[in-house]
Amino acid sequence: MVEKRIPQLLVEDNKFCPGCGHGNINRVVAEVLEEMGLADTTVGSLAVGCACLMMDTFGVDWIQAPHGRAAAVGVGVKRVRPECCVFTYQGDGDSLAIGLSETLYAAIRNENITAIIVNNGIFGMTGGQMAPTTLSGQRTTTSPKGRDVSITGQPLNIVNQCRQLPIGYLARGSVASAKDINKLKKYIRAAFETQMSGGGYSLVEVLSPCPTNWKMSLEKSLEHIENDVKPIYPLGEFIKKGEKTDA
């Protein structure tokens, strides 16, 4: 049996709940950064949410922005240190609610950074409130009867919002299966390659389970992503090297 090496960037065990998708995403990002030789020159920008649990366990330089502002802060870092690999790592509540303006304007300006957005359909860290990505009919602590889109509007699809923009790379992946994780690694690598070749803004949204706040076992959480989340948020690469794909 081949032993799989743990990336050195993962300096401590992660602090996420058992079964949380953030842990898989951390591992994929760490593997890609190491394989690309970027481990020592990467700066991560994050703000609030369970993403912040990475700051002690994921060994790049971190800068913490106010809630929602990771893209603005990341852009500032990249502009003064263009030789660095700069990525934002944010939840859907942080990046697409209070931070939507910063997220979209970084894309509109085609800033040369990479955004990783973790879509678990809720505000995880604060106890499972409704997020922009919450599905129609989904029960959360602030939509106990299920999200009523006649009141809240439709779930926000950041891939569709960015698809018309002149950006370098756009993809949506998932950590719901080993096959999905392998594909996600390709997407994250393509995003970082886009940035390091000066190809402009790259964004990878990742469908991710929050078993704690979904109040589901991990097994049920993965079934939920497969059966309910993916039909609304399909996976694929939507922009590559600045060109729209047929996905």
Residues within the interface to ligand TPP (CB under 6 A): 48-51, 67, 91-94, 118, 120, 122-126, 131
Q: Does 27 bind ligand SF4 (CB under 6 A)?
A: no
Closer to ligand TPP by Cβ: residue 33 or 50: 50
DSSP letter at 4 equals P
DSSP assignment of 111-158: -S-EEEEEE-SEETTTTSEE-TTPPTT--BTTBTT---HHHH-SPP-H
> Minimum distance between the CB of residue 22 and ligand TPP, rounded to whole angstroms?
6
**C-alpha closest to that of 62 among 97, 37, 29:** 29
Closer to ligand TPP by Cβ: residue 106 or 125: 125
Residue 20's binding partner out of ligand SF4, ligand TPP, Mg ion, none, with CB under 5 to 8 Å set by partner kind: ligand SF4
The pairing of beta strand 129-130 with beta strand 122-123? antiparallel
Tell me the per-residue interface mask from 196 to 225 with ligand SF4, x by CB under 6 A, - otherwise. --------------xxxx------------
> Minimum distance between the CB of residue 233 and ligand TPP, rounded to whole angstroms?
14
Considering CB under 6 A, how many residues would be counted as binding ligand SF4? Answer: 12
Q: Does 121 bind ligand SF4 (CB under 6 A)?
A: no
Q: Does 205 bind Mg ion (CB under 5 A)?
A: no
Count how many Cα atoms sit within 13 Å of the Cα of residue 106 in the half-sphere of its side chain.
Answer: 30
**C-alpha closest to that of 114 among 32, 203, 207:** 203
Q: Cα dist. 18→204, 213, 220 in Å?
A: 23, 12, 14
**C-alpha closest to that of 10 among 56, 52, 46, 43:** 56
Closer to Mg ion by Cβ: residue 91 or 209: 91
Closer to ligand TPP by Cβ: residue 95 or 112: 95
Interface residues with ligand SF4 (CB under 6 A)? Answer: 16-17, 20, 22, 50, 120, 124-125, 210-213
Interface residues with Mg ion (CB under 5 A)? Answer: 91-93, 120, 124
